[in-house]
Structure 1
Amino acid sequence: MKISDIQVRRKPRQSRAKLTQEALQESFVRLLHERAAHDITIRDITDLAGVGLGTFYEYFSKKEDLIALTIHRQVKNNAADLKKYAHSLNQLSTNLALDDYLKQVMHYQLKQIQAQQFLWAQTFLLERQISNIESYRKSYEMMLQMWQSILAPFIEDAEQLKRISLNVQRVCYGFVSQTLLVEPNFEEWEELEGDITQILVNFIFNKNFLF
């Protein structure tokens, strides 16, 4: 998802402007802990951020644009963090097998999501309410590229890499998003991790496994 697709009126080019935009996003997230997104007003957001309404409209045309950017940044930051972890893991463990590597990456991913469980539950919910199909596809493509980067050291064939990355994303996104949408206070993370890793390992290493 590109920022231009979210209708950001002004891209922050200076550190102060960037901090202001981030303050608006953080204020929205803090307010989500108190009430539903549709009950949060732009005035609520600006008051908590300590800026005026005019400042909000310098960056966004409407509340939905702020929400869309917040979703985008949440997904983007998570992807960057996971890639960094995976690459460092690969560098430190030169003899690591693909299945162990994938299990460790998945464990790290789920721990990061669990640490921000409320925010991720809200992100998946708001994604369905706010994001248009084009924005969703671009966000999804960003995640596919992330998995390709993570799995590339172990899978040389380009088409196989694309296929496996696609199915890893399908499994991870499907399991986690549906779990948190249905049960925002979900607690059985160890069991969920086991289910996800079992399916992924079976898919990658068993050619006869029906996906």
Structure 2
Amino acid sequence: MKISDIQVRRKPRQSRAKLTQEALQESFVRLLHERAAHDITIREITDLAGVGLGTFYEYFSNKEDLIALTIHRQVKNNAADLKIYAQSLIELSTYHDISDYLSQIIQFQIQQIQQQHVLWAHIFLLERQVSSQESYQKHYQLMTELWDELLQPFMQPEKSRQRSALNLHRIIYGFISQTLLVNTHFKEWEDLTQDILAATQSFICNLNATVFSHAISKKSDI
């Protein structure tokens, strides 16, 4: 079933209602660690959440709506974690140049996904089964805009920065999603990290050259 947007019947405005919706989502995620989404029933989700079946339908029309919200929140939370981590690097000055800065962020993202790799494997699969092209594009845009923001302290030319952001996401997302789609219980994370860093190395070197060239250009204008 394809859905273009997340269809939530009732938006939780009160803290209790929000907790109920979160409980349903967390129950679904817990069950995902045990088996595939198509084997999970709504009754199992509500039983684990400790609510009645009718409560589920107050918030969602069907299981696909809950899946769509789960995908959205997983992507959004990952983006938020990356942003916070990148800000901490800048505030604490724990990097030397753009290469070191990006390498640390890339490794952090891989570690975050590794910690929930079974869930992410399901998310990548469900994203293809449930999400519409429009929803997929929104998530892709969310991540490319994040990378664009993370590059802003180093790269001012907007066009080259946006292209760089897009390519960074292409490389990292492609490596990780394809790996977990093939092997849900993938374990060679150190090798994967080195492969991703190697794939981005020449690309990041080009970014370094762009940053250096821009800096020289600014000095000559003074």
Give TM-score, length-normalised by structure 1: 0.93
The residue number in structure 2 matching 1:40 is 40
Is 2:28 the partner of 1:28?
yes
Q: Does the Cα contact within 8 Å between 2:5 and 2:132 map onto a contact in 1?
A: no
The Cα RMSD (Å) is: 1.4
State how many pairs are aligned: 204
Give the Cα separation in 2 of the matches to 1:205 and 1:44. Answer: 50
Give the Cα separation in 1 of the matches to 2:40 and 2:192. Answer: 32
What's the % identity of the aligned pairs?
Answer: 67
Q: Does the Cα contact within 8 Å between 1:151 and 1:165 map onto a contact in 2?
A: yes
Corresponding residue SS for 2:5: helix
Give the Cα separation in 1 of the matches to 2:34 and 2:144. Answer: 33
Is 2:100 the partner of 1:80?
no
Is 2:190 the partner of 1:190?
yes
**Structure 1 residue 94, shift from structure 2 partner:** 7.2
Report the CA distance shift for 1:153/1:71 in structure 2 as closer, same or farther (over 3 A): same
Give the Cα separation in 2 of the matches to 1:34 and 1:108. Answer: 26
Q: Does the Cα contact within 8 Å between 2:168 and 2:200 map onto a contact in 1?
A: yes
Report the CA distance shift for 1:95/1:49 in structure 2 as closer, same or farther (over 3 A): closer
Give TM-score, length-normalised by structure 2: 0.88
Deviation string 1:34-68 (CA, Å, 9 cap, x unpaired) is 22111111111111111111111111001000011
| Residue identity opposite 2:55 in structure 1 | T
Give the Cα separation in 2 of the matches to 1:126 and 1:30. Answer: 15
Which piece of structure 1 moves more, 87-96 or 166-175? 87-96
> Quick check: which has more Rg, 1 or 2?
2
The residue number in structure 1 matching 2:157 is 157
| Residue identity opposite 1:6 in structure 2 | I
Structure 1 unpaired stretches of 5+ = none
